[in-house]
């Protein structure tokens, strides 16, 4: 159902508030440049710092601007099952195509607790759910066995895997089957993940290089390995250096540099340091990414 370059959208801020004009322009630019789907209110969108009204407003605005042109996968996860359930219900009400649900962070539930959390939301909301497994941020790692149990439910359709373990896609494919949608959650593994059975990447880099990321994914699907290899190598420094400090600070600096929005982040994050900016500048130069933000929202 979902594949290719899926942008984990940044949330532009200006003077502490959401910059909705910049957000709308970013969405239009993504669609214009071939992005295959969008994820609002994920980690890159600084979801942990959004209050309920902001979170809902961003999801709604994204669906309204996209107008069905590409899928919207709403970030609805929480470490509180009641909150995750309410947000996922809202995502369905406004017309999102699926929900991306992160592992319950901080609480450290058991594997049975994870199963109960996702099953509760699944059973009460008829919306496709993509599991988001990111042990580095959530402390817990959903096992392949637990994922296989959940995959028996009709609306648990895939996983965004940010474990960094490139053996994981093969293990999941063996346990669940090829129909389970496996997406890389790390730009640095986006290319390799495809070779291991994945079908796309939920990408931070595609915020600032949407065409290049989409073209790389398209090249893989069409078997154009020359183009794929060239774009893989071209994007490598960005895939590395947009994470040289806590994301999304570096990518927001890059977004400012090419004219998407200012680099404002919310505490406890800080804007990218001078050293990080130098790395991002070099990565942008290597990829040939300049001030190319040209599309304006209708």
Contact 226, 233 (CB under 8 A): no
Contact 228, 220 (CB under 8 A): yes
Residue 37 DSSP SS3: strand
Its sign, for the CA torsion 237, 102, 170, 5, is negative
Nearest CA among 117, 104, 100, 105 for reference residue 158: 100
Q: How far is residue 7's CA from residue 30's CA, in Å, rounded to a whole number?
A: 8
Residue 177 neighbours by CB distance under 10 Å = 10
Residue 38 DSSP SS3: strand
Q: Which two tokens stand for residue 209?
A: 């290089």
Q: How far is residue 41's CA from residue 54's CA, in Å, rounded to a whole number?
A: 10
Contact 129, 101 (CB under 8 A): yes
Pick the catalytic residue from 60, 160, 211, 257.
Answer: 160
Longest alpha-carbon distance in the chain: 49
Q: How far is residue 58's CA from residue 56's CA, in Å, rounded to a whole number?
A: 6
**Per-state percent for the chain, helix, strand, coil, to nearest 5:** 50, 15, 40
Catalytic annotation present for 132: yes
Pick the catalytic residue from 3, 90, 132, 253.
Answer: 132
Residues involved in catalysis:
132, 160
């Amino acid at each position: 159902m979902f594949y290719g370059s899926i942008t984990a959208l940044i949330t532009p801020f200006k003077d502490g508030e959401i910059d909705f004009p910049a957000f709308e322009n970013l969405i239009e630019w993504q669609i214009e440049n071939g992005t295959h789907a969008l994820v609002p209110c994920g980690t890159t969108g600084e979801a942990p710092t959004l209050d309920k009204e902001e979170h809902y407003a961003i999801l709604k605005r994204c669906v309204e601007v996209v107008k069905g042109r590409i899928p919207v996968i709403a970030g609805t996860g929480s470490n509180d099952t009641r909150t995750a359930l309410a947000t996922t219900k809202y995502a369905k009400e406004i017309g999102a195509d699926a929900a991306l649900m992160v592992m319950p962070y901080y609480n450290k539930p058991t594997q049975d607790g994870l199963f109960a959390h996702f099953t509760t939301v699944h059973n009460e909301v008829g919306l496709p759910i993509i599991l988001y497994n990111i042990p580095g941020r959530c402390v817990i790692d959903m096992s392949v066995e637990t994922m296989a149990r959940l995959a028996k439910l009709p609306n648990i359709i895939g996983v965004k895997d940010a474990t960094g373990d490139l053996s994981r896609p093969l293990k999941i494919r063996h346990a669940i089957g090829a129909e389970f949608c496996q997406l890389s959650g790390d730009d640095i593994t986006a290319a390799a993940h495809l070779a291991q059975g994945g079908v796309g990447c939920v990408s931070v880099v595609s915020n600032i290089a949407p065409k290049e990321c989409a073209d790389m994914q398209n090249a893989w699907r069409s078997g154009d390995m020359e183009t794929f290899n060239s774009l893989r190598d071209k994007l490598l420094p960005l895939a590395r250096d947009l994470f040289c400090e806590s994301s999304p600070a570096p990518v927001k600096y890059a977004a400012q540099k090419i004219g998407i929005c200012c680099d404002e982040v919310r505490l406890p994050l800080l804007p990218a340091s001078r050293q990080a900016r130098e790395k991002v500048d070099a990565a942008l130069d290597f990829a040939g990414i300049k001030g190319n933000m040209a599309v304006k929202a209708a």
